[in-house]
Amino acid sequence: MEGKNVLVTGGAGFIGSHICERLLKNKNTVFCVDNLVTGTKDNVKLFLKDPNFTFIEQDVSKHPIEIDHKIDYIFHLASPASPVDYQKYPIETMMVNSIGTLNVLNFAKKKGATLLFSSTSEVYGDPQKHPQSEDYWGNVNTMGPRSCYDESKRFAEALTFSYHQLYGIDVKIARIFNTYGPRMRANDGRAIPNFVSQSLAGRPVTVYGDGKQTRSFCYISDMVNGLITLIESKYSGEPFNIGNPDERKIVKVAEMVQEITETKSKIVFKPLPKDDPAKRRPDIKKSLSKLRWEPKIGFSDGLKLTIDYFRNELV
């Protein structure tokens, strides 16, 4: 993508700021909207001086978007996304994915823009099918600690699909699986930032449950490639899994972090949170065959890059 006008909602978040960075590098004009509830201006401070970057502090669920320029593409990434964050802000999470998505869809309709909605592997809930392919409908609790996120993302997929059907808007739905890398918040509560910051600080490394639950982690640069490839593709109104199928037990991830950081910290086992999915791995056959996208960065390389970032951040 080059020379385009692009809106990134949630552009001051972890994935959003990396999307902004890539777009600016490739000579696009970027409008970043964020209410900074979980994102931070630190993530975009490097771009604030760039004449092709505009930062707009706004909650897309409270006000319709108004930008007086032609807009070609929209990455709609605004939403709390880590379990700790969305459990702290359940209503904001549901509002940004419902009313916020409605506002962004209306803006896309007005501008004739292509919109990518950031959905999630959480639409599959605690999956009974493994690995998860896009045709699996999921196993989601409507009333649990994750329901504010899971159900509002499912609603947003349905709303996005309806706008596509009714108004012919070009929409892309990315089901984003666990992603990691620089600019994650040390305190966002997720496994990798927790394990890395605990190990570097010499604090106990907290593994929940017996640590045998699995996740499959995608490095941020692979995620950015996947999302940009999807938004530029011809496929409209259908979901694509974007993630890395390299599945690992959480306790093994903690051990790898301990090893790379050479920490003396010991693992401590804490209770498993309610509704914590037992297994998660994307089936990416569809993304591979239709988008010709697959992740490239191996887990230990990605972990080393992430650990280096946290080492510098935490001093």
Give the footprint of ligand UDP on this chain (CB under 6 A).
82-83, 178, 189-191, 194, 206-208, 213, 215, 250, 273, 276
| Of residues 191 and 307, the one with the C-beta less far from ligand UDP | 191
Residues 6+ apart with CB under 8 A from 224: 15, 18, 19, 22
Q: Give min distance, CB of 96 to ligand UDP, in A.
A: 17
Q: Give min distance, CB of 254 to ligand UDP, in A.
A: 7
Residues 6+ apart with CB under 8 A from 154: 123, 138, 140
Q: Give min distance, CB of 247 to ligand UDP, in A.
A: 12
| Of residues 138 and 189, the one with the C-beta less far from ligand UDP | 189
CA angle 147–151–156, rounded 5-degree value: 150
Q: Give min distance, CB of 282 to ligand UDP, in A.
A: 12
Q: Which helix (H) or strand (E) holds 215?
A: strand 214-216
**Catalytic: which of 124, 149, 180, 219?**
149
Taking the C-alpha atoms of residue 80 and residue 159, their distance in angstroms, rounded to an integer, is 19
Q: What phi and psi values does residue 240 have, to the nearest 5 degrees?
A: -130, 130
Straight-line distance from the first to the last Cα atom of the chain, in angstroms, rounded to the nearest whole number: 36
149 labelled catalytic: yes
Taking the C-alpha atoms of residue 258 and residue 271, their distance in angstroms, rounded to an integer, is 20
| Of residues 72 and 150, the one with the C-beta less far from ligand UDP | 150
| Of residues 138 and 273, the one with the C-beta less far from ligand UDP | 273
Question: What positions carry a catalytic annotation?
Answer: 149
